[in-house]
Chains A and B, each alone.
Chain A
């Protein structure tokens, strides 16, 4: 089946930049998403990118898409302790656009 791959852990120091990487398999995915999950909570959409874009910037967040390599990344500038969470990459599949999630990357931010 289709798979979305992410590294499981990332640790950075407060103020540094964080880069979370993701690879996906469905070249026909129209949209790719980044969701954030804080402890004990549901998932919250951070940002998404349309497949015909290479980059999208939204305040401290930068999403880069390499469609040829099916590689997606999320960069968080000036990472804060409040950014500590699990970050999920997701692609939309099929005509219904079902979201297929990666296993999530746990970001730990050290003061």
Chain B
């Protein structure tokens, strides 16, 4: 049971380049999330999804887009990367019930130069 898998684990982008981060979960979870973690800022919610085909904005959505075409996958896109998007990105998933555990991926370390 792989849980939540993020790819890639590391990436360096030049300003203006685009990329897509992939999150895959094999637990049949309805809810999926993308967070970014910055020093001294904790985790901030970028976008989330409550089911296949649905997405919603979180606390810091600007500069990112997401898609949930399949229940098991949640993609995070950067159309034109900026240095301010240098961060560690975490994907998480959980079931529908409020007391269920959210499972996190291992993170993607993105550097934009």
Which secondary structure characterizes the binding site on chain B?
Answer: strand
Chain B residues engaging chain A, CB cutoff 8 angstroms: 4, 31, 33, 35, 40-45, 48, 50, 56, 58-59, 90, 92, 98-99, 101-102, 104-107
Residue of B nearest to A99 (CB): B102
B74 to chain A, nearest CB (A): 14
Choice from A40, A97, A102, A103 contacting B98 with Cβ under 8 Å: A97
Known: A30-B98, A31-B98, A42-B90. A103 touches B105 (CB 8 A): no
B49 to chain A, nearest CB (A): 10
Known: A100-B45, A102-B42. A42 touches B98 (CB 8 A): no
Q: A48-B99, A88-B43, A101-B43 are in contact. List 16 more A-B contacts (CB 8 A).
A: A31-B98, A41-B106, A42-B4, A42-B90, A42-B104, A42-B105, A43-B92, A43-B104, A50-B99, A88-B42, A96-B56, A99-B45, A101-B35, A101-B44, A103-B41, A104-B42
Chain A residues 1-54 with CB under 8 Å of chain B are 1, 4, 8, 30-31, 40-45, 48, 50
When distances are taken between beta carbons in the complex, the residues of chain B under 8 Å from A4 are 42
A67 to chain B, nearest CB (A): 16
Known: A98-B48, A101-B42, A103-B42. A45 touches B102 (CB 8 A): yes
Number of chain A residues close to chain B: CB under 8 A:
24
B109 to chain A, nearest CB (A): 9
A62: CB under 8 A from chain B? no
Complex-state Cα separation, A48 to B97, whole angstroms: 14
A20 to chain B, nearest CB (A): 14
A80: CB under 8 A from chain B? no
When distances are taken between beta carbons in the complex, the residues of chain A under 8 Å from B40 are 8, 103
